[in-house]
Amino acid sequence: MSPNQPEIEALFSEVREVTPAPAFTAQANATPELYERAERDPEAFWAAEAKQRISWSRPWDSVLEWELPYAKWFVGGQLNVAYNCVDRHVEQGLGAKVAYYWEGEPGDTRTLTYADLQREVNKAANALKALGVGIGDRVGIYMPMIPELPIAMLACAKIGAPHVVVFGGFSSDALEGRMIDAEAVALITADGGWRNGKVLDLKAAADVAVGNAPTIKNVLVVRRTGHDVPMTEGRDHWWHDVVDGQSAECDPVPVDSEHLLYLLHTSGTTAKPKGIMHTTGGYLAGVSTTHHYIFDIKPDDVYWCAADIGWVTGHSYIVYGPLANGTTGVLYEGAPQFPEPDRWWSIVEKYKVSILYCAPTAIRAFMKQGDDWPAKHDLSSLRLLGTVGEPINPEAWLWYRRAIGGSRCPVVDTWWQTETGMILITPLPGITTLRPGSATRPFPGIGAKVVDADGTEVANGSGGGYLVLTRPWPAMLRGIYKDPERYLSTYWRRFPGMYFAGDGCKVDDDGYFWLLGRVDDVMKIAGHRISTIEVESALVDHPAVAEAAVVGRSDPVTGEAISAFVILKSHITPSDELALELREHVAKKIGAIARPKMVMFTPELPKTRSGKIMRRLLRDIAEHRTLGDVTTLADSGIVETIRVKAQSSEADQLV
Ligand code: WTA
């Protein structure tokens, strides 16, 4: 047992609070005064931050235009995001500073300084121009975690072409839908990437998707794994052929503050992913400001956000926030526990990482492997830890702080969403007294509260409700691409005048926010949003399936795991092989993260008299709980039948 154990136990059972260490407070970027100043005049607060952190090529005329539910920030201002993230640092003499330490899964490494990044971004931007990509054109990006991924994003930003990044673990179907929705003109991909010692064949998936997305005229392919890939004449180009010979100079295109910077698709309550729109000035101000205060960024920090750039966490806190702040970051290509469960800790030790930001699901997976793996490494460089993506259970929080942070690092539990673009509820390190499991308080200037079903604010300490946001913030989404009606109905109709986040939350006696998970039909699998309906559609897409319902049930490592209840077509006989086939079918249609952990065949599903599937009851069954209210069921015998079947078939299928 570690010598720190008793202190933690005391924390857990008695105090359940961690007060800031005075030494940390003394050097912290944040001050308590931020809250008061921002609350007094939020617009003035954001204007001051935007002025200080960003170089504008034209100043704004007004800070905020707010016509609910549409916000415009820094209206009339012009800037270029790539200039702000790269060029100006080089101009200011930081060319030799490391922008990224990159490590591939096989152990190969690259170091990119800000000067290197500038040269590579400029060449890539010139290559895009040579392929006919212009301002406003959408460019798809489907890549492993290699330096060309942020380079490609910045190259797009440099010429004002919005990017549409699709997580490299997604299937060709997922890529195709997103490319069609975005009407992308080009796609940047790679031959493949490394994951758990195997090659992920991205080019093969990209070929299928591009074949069905006719707006894509050009495909740029980075050589990463070196395996043989087919290249389509006239459409596909090797990155090294097209990019390497370009000029290393490229003037940034100044764009309006409200110019579309990127689309990022996220799961909602229908099968079609939503193209979340993020624009330029407010977004960059929001991510750079939060990154500065919440991660307490200092010039000599080595900061590692261990997410994939394909998710919003990577967009905001691997690429844009950190680079705007001139930070040195770490990028790692592969699986967290490859080849051994201490891969991450060897990276922390090797690069002397001082700030680590990751997901609770990763923390739980490491916790399961025990203290010995991190204990093999010198983790004394760490001075701050962060989490994001789902609620973190206090036990995992305390383990993270002790086994990884040596009981000396503040832990910032940060709540936000693809839609919010930036962290909104979080401690400020050095200022906030921490409570394990609570994201604590809204960031300065953010209006957040918890309301009951009627939209009335729930008093502190009086139970749970729905999290809402009461005023605009700079990095907020500007809409759903090509779907204003869905934007209104998803976020703004439930509680008039307030943004509905879709999360349950309670506020304790002292005003601390405790996030309780999603209240809609969105699951959080290993920290990633997956809607029940997307998985159901993928199941029904299989020729043997007549109907399907899926629910997330709690899982000790991944937070939630998918349980699928499947009705087969009448002539099909259920079998273990078929269950396996269905699981693989979903993985193929959506990606491995959506593969159901359990598939159960059932003759019926519990439905209301109006035909709505009662997922709540399925969740009870999956969790082995006593069933909740069944009075609205059309056929009350059916749940009992499913429950008995579930108990007998489940044991064999769990992996
Ligand atoms: C959940 C990820 C509790 C929440 C940045 C939210 C969290 C959804 C936390 C957004 C947290 C994120 N505590 N829950 N600290 N952070 N969530 O769009 O349910 O992938 O609505 O963005 O993740 O997921 P998304």
Which pairs with CB-CB distance under 8 Å and at least 24 residues apart come from 608-617? 608/632, 608/633, 608/634, 609/634, 613/549, 615/521, 615/532, 615/549, 615/551
What is the three-class DSSP state of 464? strand
The span from the first CA to the last CA of the chain, in angstroms, equals: 30
558 lines ligand 1 (CB under 6 A): no
Q: Which atom of ligand 1 is nearest to the CA of 392?
A: 13
524 CA to middle of ligand 1, Å? Answer: 8
Residue to substitute in 269, 277, 357, 415 for testing ligand 1 pocket (most ligand atoms within 8 angstroms of CB): 415
- What pLDDT does residue 648 have? 57
609: tokens are: 């008299």
Residue 2 has pLDDT above 70, yes or no: no
Determine which residue's CA is closest to atom 11 belonging to ligand 1: 415
Residue 403 neighbours by CB under 8 Å, 6+ apart: 2, 367, 371, 374, 375
User: Mean pLDDT over residues 80-93, rounded?
Assistant: 98
**Model's pTM, two decimal places?**
0.92
SS3 131: coil
Ligand 1 centre distance from Cα of residue 326 (Å): 26
* Higher-confidence position of 224 and 635: 224
146 near 190, Cβ under 8 Å? yes
305 CB within 6 A, ligand 1: no
Rounded CA-CA distance 144/318 in Å is 14
CA of 111 to the centre of ligand 1 (A): 31
Q: How far is the CA of 442 from the centre of ligand 1 (A)?
A: 14
Q: Is 220 in the pocket of ligand 1 (CB under 6 A)?
A: no
Whether 170 contacts 144, CB under 8 Å: no
Atom of ligand 1 nearest to the CA of 418: 18
Residues 410-436: what's their mean pLDDT? 98
pLDDT recorded at residue 297 = 98
3-state SS track over 281-327: HHHHHHHHHHHHHHCCCCCCCEEEECCCCCCHHHHHHHHHHHHHCCC
Across residues 542-564, what is the average pLDDT? Answer: 93
Q: Is 492 in a helix, a strand, or coil?
A: helix
Per-residue pLDDT of 324-359, as tens digits, reads 999 999 999 999 999 999 999 999 999 999 999 999
pLDDT of residue 39: 98
Note whether 475 and 287 are within 8 A (CB).
Answer: yes
What is the per-residue DSSP string for 200-252? Answer: E-HHHHHHHHHHT-TT--EEEEE-SS-------TTTEEEHHHHTTTS-S----
Q: Is the CB of 388 under 6 A from ligand 1?
A: yes
Distances from the Cα of 147 to the Cα of 152, 190, 200, 333, 389, angstroms: 9, 12, 17, 9, 24
Nearest one of 103, 456, 426, 169 to 290, comparing CA atoms = 426
Give the nearest ligand 1 atom to 391 CA: 3
* Cis, bond preceding 603 (omega within 30 deg of 0): no
Token code pair at residue 82? 């790539």
Ligand 1 pocket: which of 276, 490, 515, 558 to mutate (most atoms within 8 A of CB): 515
User: From atom 5 of ligand 1, which residue's Cα is the shortest distance away?
Assistant: 417
For a mutational test of ligand 1's pocket, the pick from 291, 490, 512, 529, i.e. the residue with the most ligand atoms closer than 8 A to its C-beta, is: 529
pLDDT band at 492 (very low <50, low <70, confident <90, very high): very high
For residues 612 and 527, which has the higher predicted lDDT (pLDDT)? Answer: 527
Query: What own/partner pairs with CB < 8 Å and gap ≥ 24 does 551-558 have?
Result: 551/523, 551/615, 551/618, 551/619, 551/622, 552/523, 552/524, 552/525, 552/619, 553/619, 553/622, 553/623, 554/623, 555/597, 556/364, 556/368, 557/361, 557/364, 557/365, 557/368, 558/361, 558/364, 558/525, 558/526
Per-residue pLDDT, 239 = 98
Residue 609 is predicted with a pLDDT of 75
Lowest mean pLDDT among 245-259, 294-308, 455-469: 455-469
Higher pLDDT among residues 638 and 383, named by residue = 383
pLDDT of residue 645: 72
The pLDDT assigned to 11 comes to: 42
Q: Residue 249 pLDDT more than 60?
A: yes
What pLDDT score does 649 carry?
Answer: 55
Q: Position 198: which residue type?
A: K
Interval between CA 591 and ligand 1 midpoint (Å)? 20
CA-closest residue to ligand 1 atom 10: 417
What pLDDT shows up at residue 651?
A: 42
Q: What is the spatial order of strands in the sheet that 499-507 belongs to?
A: 448-451, 464-469, 499-507, 513-518
CA of 110 to the centre of ligand 1 (A): 31
Nearest Cα residue to 403 out of 445, 448, 341: 341
| Cα–Cα distance measured from residue 326 to residue 89, given in angstroms and rounded to the nearest whole number | 7
3-state SS assignment for residue 146: coil
- Highest mean pLDDT among 335-344, 624-633, 639-648 belongs to 335-344
pLDDT surpasses 80 at 114: yes
Which pLDDT score is estimated for 647?
A: 63
Domains of the chain: 113-253 (3.40.50.980), 517-653 (3.30.300.30)
Ligand 1 contact via 418 beta carbon (within 6 Å): yes
Residue with tokens 């993985």: 587
Taking CA atoms only, the protein residue closest to ligand 1 atom 6 is 417
Is the CB of 439 inside a 6 Å radius of any atom of ligand 1? yes
pLDDT at 520: 87
Which range, of 183-192, 325-334, 409-418, 634-643, averages the lowest pLDDT?
634-643
Average pLDDT of the chain?
Answer: 93
Confidence check: pLDDT of 58 > 60: yes
pLDDT at 6: 40
Distance (angstroms) between ligand 1 centre and the Cα of 527 equals: 7
Strand partners, 565: 549, 600
Q: Annotate 64-127 with DSSP letters as a single string.
A: EEEETTEEEEEET-EE-HHIIIIIHHIIIIITTSEEEEEE-TTS-EEEEEHHHHHHHHHHHHHH
> Which neighbouring-strand residues pair with 499?
469
- DSSP labels, 401-456: IIIITTTTS-EEEEB--TTT-S--B---TTTSPB-TT--BSBPTT--EEEE-TTSP
Task: Say how far apart CA 532 and CA 391 lie, in whole Å.
Answer: 19
Residue 79 clears pLDDT 50, i.e. is over it: yes
Report percent pLDDT > 90 for the chain. 85
